[in-house]
Structure formats: structure tokens, C-alpha cells
Amino acid sequence: MNETGQKKIAINLDEYSKAIDGLRALAVIAVILNHFNNSILPSGFLGVDIFFVISGFVITASLVKRKDGDVSSYIKNFYKRRIKRLYPALIFCICITMILISFFSEFPNESILTGIFAIPGFSNIDLYYNAVDYWGKSAKLNPFTHTWSLGVEEQFYLIFPIVLWITVKRNKKFTNLKKLRGFLIFACITSAILYVYFSRTNQMLAYFMMPFRFWEIGMGCLLYVQLKINGYYIEKLLGKIPFHLIFISLIGVQFLSEKYIIFTTIMVTVLTVLIIAKIKFLEATSSESVFSILTNSISLYIGKISYSLYLWHWVVIVISYWTIGINKYTLPIQLVLIFMLASFSFYFVEKPLRHVNWRKSTYVKIIIFPFSLIIMLFMLQMKLSPNSNHLYLGTTSQKQSQRLIPNKLMQDYNTVSNCSKIRVIGNSHSLHIIPMLSQITNHFNLELIYENHPDYINIPMGDQKDIEKLDIVLSVLDKDDILILSSRNRYLYERPYLSGNGDKWIDHSQLKKERGYGLSIWLKELDKVISETKKKDIQVILFLPNVEFDKQIFNEEDICKNEWFRIPDERCNPNVSINYLNSRFPEAFYKEVNNRASVDTNFYVFNPMPIYCPDLTTCYRTINGVNAFKDTNHLTAEGANLMLDDFFSFLTSNHLL
């Protein structure tokens, strides 16, 4: 009986639970499925959250039952166990992966740095401060992205053992568990509130950083503490809920879209707490057959090697992205490789080094020396030669960049230019042409002036917000200088302005109906630019709309670079119909700007479309072996240089140079 007179269930919280290993198997399978193809299990990444809860429960059990006499030995022995449990497999994986990624990525230092930060448990901080989107393209190409969760756990366990000692172990009183429970309730509620709030305002902060994940590990800790104090109310609640309902719900939540991440994260955490509690009660009543799905031989094996599986699955996936890709033909090979690497890691690294005395073991010394040497060599390489990679098996950029040498037309052009400066204004589309313009300005010793984000000067824009800056723009230009207007004028078809002071986002189904609202305001701004520049004899060039893809494409140039070891992914070279491109803008747009170009002697229009869509029917990302676009609408540096010949001829034929 407990202090309130209720019958206390005889639960053995400290014994090994096969079903919890089976739950680990469920978690790692969900993560692997999601990482191979997130359309199969959209929220399968929440398997990590299942691991968090399990970790909190198991580690609390380990800490509470320990009999260390003083705080020093208590903390020291805990971290010794953690290091022996986690670090051999982690360092083995990091060292091998550093070498592999260096073979296939010409510039692997960012990834390698994440791996190095993973050793002390700070890779989550590195990923956050480098603004990596966990679902984005750059995250998919970093073989150490998945180590963020290890960082969260290690940072949690820098704090929790000390809290447990202060609240429970110091006085060795069982009643002090209630103090720990009080702390955990307060900390978990606070952390969960912060997680929900920052998931809406700064998703990557909430995703990667430990304070916003504390509540998930803390819920596992809290479950253990509450069951240790009194499991009566939990047992009474769970007695009415079938195990299979909780189990199916835990799987079902992971089929929801990632856009519901706040809801699904909370649900997975709560359901994991419930299923662990249910398992412990069923074990206490000898009803293990109910959860046999978690205790069959396959589930137990996967659960046993789940840590090594988690480490190696992502490495295999990322190296595959860099090489042969992932499809139905490669998938069986990749799955076999993942399980082979994980099994090797578990039986020859993780398990042996967990159970031996590191000081006395020759086996440990043989392993530690080469791995430590590998890490030190990579750190030295990054320090001394940050821009070189001697392990790269492909063609270096230096060899491929020969196409950027100034062309013969420029070299043969001997006329002395009256132009001394070229100024570019606009949004991000003013920046992506800079590599091409730089070759011209450098060759003719001209000054090139432009603004970087977020200091864009958007004229004309159709909102009149920057038009008052026109005088500032023109103040640095003299007679015969050139002003280039280059913007993605998407507001003319995707974001029609209802007035000069605001805009209204609309659904794509409304585009044809409402397209072109901002055109009249935009033309007024253009007219002012033309008239003011004419007063100073400044020449104006408007870049017309270029190719824009209607589907997402890889924004990592390296992954689409042709190499002998890489099978090109069809998504690297998407195409778009020129009919789609022409339909984006109202006909009045082209008519009005061309009319002005024919009338105003200082206004010219340059059309890049024929360069990037040579057959004028279907446009491709890759042109003559060059990846011209780094995303749906921005040019790569090499892509911008594809227009060098045409733009230089345009300047000379119009006597602008």
C-alpha cells in the first residue's frame, strides 16, 4: 500500500526490458524510411523523438539505482559509462565518413566540421548557426546532419545528473524523488511552451537546440520518477486503453505531413510515454504476449543495433546522393550495406569497447590511435589548406572553370570606352548576373557598383517604396555610365498590387484572373528612371524576364556536377515549357517596355531568354554541360557567364562601351 492507501503495482523498473529494445527498432525503422523517401512516412523523422523519451526513461533508471558514495564518483562514473556507450561507434563512424565524403565532395569542410563538432556533442549548435534546414537540400548532403540529436542528448545529460544528485542522491531519501518530480514537471512544461512558441517563430532554433527539446527527454525521466513514487493513477488510466491502440496511434501519427510538426511531436512524445508505461505494467502482470510484435527476434536484433543503425543509415544515404543516387534498383544494395555496417560497428566496435577496461585493453589502444590520428589530420588540413581537398576523386573546379576566361570578342575590342561605371540595382536577380558583369568591368577597368541583400534598391518595383532612392543611385554615375535594372518582377503575375502601398498574396489558381495589377505603377517608376537618367546622359538597360522553373530543383551545384563516380539525377536537369514562361507576364508588359526602348534613346532592353532557351520551345537547367541555374530562378556563376558573349555584343552594337 502507498501513502494514500492505494494498492501499489509491483513493477520492476530497473530490469532490462526486451520490449523497449523493440521500441527502439520501431523508432530507427521510422527514421530510415523517412530519410530514404519522406513520402512513405512523412513524419518518420519523429523516431528521434521516440529515442529521446526512451533515453530519458532508461538513463534515469540507471542514475537512480547507482550506489556511488559521493557526487564526484557519481558524476565521473556516469560520464565514463556514457563515453564507453556512445563514443567508440560514433568516432568510428565519423572517421570513416570524413574519408568517404572527401572522396566524393570537392569542398567537404563544412560537413567535416559538423562531424568534428559531433564529438563533444555540439553538432546541433553548429547546424543551427550555419542555418541548415533539416528538410532542406544542404542538410541532405551533409553526412553528419543526423548527429544533432546526439548533441541534444549530451547537453541534457550535462545538467540532469547534477539535478538528480542535488534533489535525490545527496540525502539518500526516497521522498526526495518528489523534489525531482517537481523540477521535471516545471522544466518540461516550460520547455514545451518554448518549443511550441519558437516552432512558429524560429523553427530551426526549436528543432536543433536542447532547451526546446528538454521536455521530450524530460518526459521519459518524469515517467520513471512517477512510476517509482506511485504508478497507481497511470495504471488506472492505461488499464482502459489497449496496448495495440497506443501502438497503432504511435505509428499512425507519423503518416501525417511534416507541416503538422508541432502537433505530431507532442503526440509522439505523449504516446511514447504511454507505451513505455503500458509495457512496464504488462511485464509486471506477465502479459508480455500482448506486445510480442516488439519482442520477436527481428525487432530485438534491430533494437540491439539501433544506435549503430542510426549512425550509419544516414551516411549511406548521403554518400549515395553524392554518387549512384537512390532509386528502386539501388535501394536493396543500400539497405544491405546499412545493416552490414551497423552490425560490424556493433559487434566489433560498440559492444567490445563498452565492456572492457580501456586503460588495460590493447584492443582499445589499437583502435584509438589511428582514429585519433585521422581526426587530427583532417583538422590540420582544414587549418592549413581550407580550400583544397587532395582526396577528391573528381575533376577540380579549377580545371572546369577555364570556360570563364574572357572571350575573344572582348580581347579583340580596342575601342576606348566613354563609360567608367556600371551600376546594378534590383533584388537578388541583380546579384546573380554579377559574375558575368565582373568579367567585363575587370577587362575594361570599369567600376562595378551593386548592393547586397538586404540593402537591395528595387526600382522599378511597382510599390513606389524605393523610388525616392533614385537620386542616390544616380549620384555616383556620370555621362555615358550604365545603369542596369535587373529584378525578378514576380509581383506582376504572382503578387498583384492593389495599391502603391501594399500587396496581396494570391492562390496560383487566381493568377490568370488577377495578373498584372502592379504594371501601371511599375511603368510609372520606369518612366521616372528613364527621364532622370536622360537628364544626365546615363544609359539604362532593363533585363527582361529569364527562364523560371515551375518545380523545385536541386540547389546544390556540386551534386549535379558530372563526375565519373556520379549517376546524374534527373532532378538535376528539369525542364519548363516556354509557353509557361510567356504566360507569366501580361502582353502589355513586353509591349510597353519595347515601345519605350524604340522611343527613348537612352533606354535599352536585353532579353536573356534565347540564351537559356535556345530552341524557344523547352528550356533546361543544363546548357552545354553547364548547370545554369542553382534554384528555380537564380543563375549559377557559370550560368551567368553563358550570356557573356551575347551581352558584350549587345553593349558594343549599341555603342554603350
Query: For 46, which DSSP code?
Result: G
- Above pLDDT 90, what percent of the chain? 48
CA distances from 374 to 1, 121, 313, 611, 655 (A): 59, 19, 22, 47, 59
What would the grid cell of residue 86 be?
A: 556512445
Q: Is the pLDDT of residue 553 over 50?
A: yes
DSSP 541: E
Residue 41 — very low, low, confident or very high, per pLDDT cuts 50/70/90? Answer: very high
Give a yes or no: residue 360 inside a domain: yes
Q: By mean pLDDT, which of 136-140, 182-186, 189-193 is the weakest?
A: 136-140
pLDDT at 635 (0 to 100): 92
Position 401 scores a pLDDT of: 42
pLDDT score recorded for residue 567: 85
**Cα–Cα distance between 555 and 545 in angstroms, integer?**
20
Is the pLDDT at 19 greater than 80, yes or no? Answer: yes
Instruction: Say what the pLDDT of residue 568 is.
Output: 75
In this prediction the pTM is 0.78
pLDDT of residue 525: 86
Q: Which pLDDT does position 416 carry in this prediction?
A: 62
170 compared with 636, residue with greater pLDDT: 636
- The answer to whether residues 146 and 63 belong to one domain is yes
Place 6 in a pLDDT band, splitting at 50, 70 and 90: low
Compute the chain's Rg from CA coordinates.
31
The 10s digit of each residue's pLDDT in 435-480 is 999 999 988 889 999 988 777 887 877 666 778 888 888 888 999 9
- Do residues 334 and 442 share a domain? no
Whole-angstrom distance, CA of residue 76 vs CA of residue 606: 70
Strand 626-627 with 622-623, pairing: antiparallel
pLDDT of residue 515: 45
Residues 355-371 have a mean pLDDT of 69
Could you tell me if 519 and 646 lie in one domain? yes
Residue 619 lies in a domain: no
pLDDT of residue 579: 81
pLDDT-based confidence at residue 396 (cuts at 50, 70, 90)? confident
Average pLDDT score, the chain: 84
User: Does residue 351 sit in the same domain as residue 446?
Assistant: no
pLDDT of residue 124: 94
Q: CA separation (Å) from 521 to 471, 495, 550, 609, 653?
A: 19, 13, 26, 25, 31
Q: Residue 488 above 90 pLDDT? A: no
Residue 548 has pLDDT above 60, yes or no: yes
Q: State whether 411 and 373 are in the same domain.
A: no
Q: Provide the percentage of residues in the chain whose pLDDT is more than 70.
A: 85
Most confidently modeled range among 310-314, 501-505, 627-631: 310-314
Q: Which pLDDT belongs to residue 367? A: 67
Q: Is residue 618 part of a domain?
A: no
Domain for residue 623, yes or no?
no
Structural domain contains residue 571 = no
Is 7 a member of any domain?
no
Write the pLDDT tens digit of every residue in 307-356.
Answer: 999 999 999 999 999 999 898 999 999 999 999 999 999 999 999 888 77
Kind and range of the H or E run holding 603: strand 603-606
Higher pLDDT, 196 or 563: 196
First vs last C-alpha separation in the chain? 95
Q: Are residues 256 and 291 in the same domain?
A: yes
Identify whether residues 370 and 425 lie together within a single domain. Answer: no
pLDDT on residue 330: 94
pLDDT score, position 135? 47
Q: Is pLDDT above 90 for 560?
A: no
Residue 369 has a pLDDT of 65
More confident residue, 148 or 287: 148
Residue where a domain terminates, one of 338, 353, 384: 384
Q: Are residues 493 and 356 in the same domain?
A: no
pLDDT digits (tens, 9 = 90+) for 636-652: 898 999 999 999 999 99
Kindly tell me if the per-residue pLDDT of 389 is higher than 90: no
User: What is the pLDDT at residue 9?
Assistant: 57
What's the CA gap between 451 and 446, in Å, rounded? 17
Q: Which domain holds residue 453?
A: 405-547+584-608+642-653
d(CA 221, CA 210): 15
Whether residue 569 is contained in a domain is answered as no
| Co-location of 301 and 444 in the same domain | no
d(CA 193, CA 185): 12
Residues 469, 479 contacting (CB under 8 angstroms): no
Predicted confidence (pLDDT) per residue in 50-93, tens digit: 999 999 999 999 888 887 667 888 888 899 889 889 999 999 99
Whether residue 242 is found in the same domain as residue 272: yes
Report the half-sphere exposure of 639 (CA within 13 A, side-chain side).
26
User: What confidence score (pLDDT) does residue 500 get?
Assistant: 34
Residue 262 placed within a domain:
yes
* pLDDT at residue 577, as a whole number: 86
Specify the DSSP class assigned to residue 490.
G
Q: How far is CA 15 from CA 19, 278, 355, in A?
A: 12, 15, 19
CATH number of the domain residue 504 falls in: 3.40.50
Question: Does one domain contain both 411 and 378?
Answer: no
Whether 373 and 441 map to the same domain: the answer is no
**CA dist list (Å): 78 to 66, 67, 165:** 9, 11, 12
- The helix-helix angle for 644-653 and 434-443 (nearest 10°) equals 50
For residues 271-292, average pLDDT? 86
pLDDT above 50: residue 495: no
- What's the structural domain count of the chain? 2
Instruction: Count Cα atoms within 13 angstroms, Cβ side, for 591.
Output: 5
